[in-house]
Amino acid sequence: MKSLRLLLPVVLISLSTMAFAQSDAQKSFTQLKSLVGAWEGPVKVDPPMAEMTPDKPLHVSMRVTSRGNALIHEMQEAGTPEDPTKYDHPVTTFYLDSDRLLLTHYCDAGNRPRMVAKSSADGKRVEFDFLDVAGDLQYGHMQHAVFTIVDANHHTEDWTFLMPGDKPMHAHFDLQRTK
């Protein structure tokens, strides 16, 4: 009986720690859901890519699906036809997996990296670190992503793509809400 009394506080502390982690992931997911809508803004890529027009606007749309259990993020260069067979049109899904917030990025490079979130103390920034990847790595893969909420109508996204030879390429999106 004495050992049961000693074990009970350990179990309760463990359960409260799990509840905290779940609420942290849920809080980050809720923050990202506040970005539902249409966004547009310039992209800065480092190192610059020849096929990208500098400061050409990017269009991002975000929508909730699956009864609120997933968030879909789609991006394309503004002004290009909506034909994902001819133009870049990567799709990213965000979803809760037990006590973690994950993203899966369906990349135009032909692979699907997954990343796991960690949030900032102020709740305005959600950072995703590489977890694993499925698919062909011939052209590289997305490695890291950071979403920073500036206000209800402005957020930034920072994406790091690991090119062949493990050379990072960073893209910074400065997005304003259009709808």
Domains: count for the chain: 1
Domain range for 162 is 2-177
Angle made by CA atoms 13, 17, 22, in degrees to the nearest 5:
150
Higher-pLDDT residue of 134 and 55 is 134
**Dihedral, 128, 58, 142, 150 alpha carbons, nearest 10:** -10
Q: What is the pLDDT of residue 52?
A: 57
3-state helix, strand, coil in the chain (%, to 5): 20, 50, 30
Cβ-based neighbours of 74, under 8 Å, separated by 6 or more: 60, 61, 62, 89, 90, 91, 92
Taking all residues of the chain, what is their mean pLDDT, rounded to a whole number?
87
The yes-or-no verdict on residue 40 having pLDDT over 90 is: yes
14: domain CATH number? 2.40.128.20
Q: What is the pLDDT of residue 120?
A: 85
Q: Could you report the per-residue pLDDT of 84-117, keeping only the tens digit for each?
A: 676 788 999 999 999 999 999 999 999 999 999 9
Give pLDDT tens digits for 116-172.
999 888 889 999 999 999 999 999 999 999 999 999 999 999 999 999 999 999 999
What is the 3 state secondary structure string of 40-75? Answer: EEEEEEECCCCCCCCCCEEEEEEEEEHHHCEEEEEE
Residue 79 pLDDT level (bands cut at 50, 70, 90): confident
pTM of the complete model: 0.83
pLDDT in tens, 126-141: 999 999 999 999 999 9
Query: Which range among 62-66, 81-85, 158-162, 172-176 shows the weakest confidence by mean pLDDT?
Result: 81-85
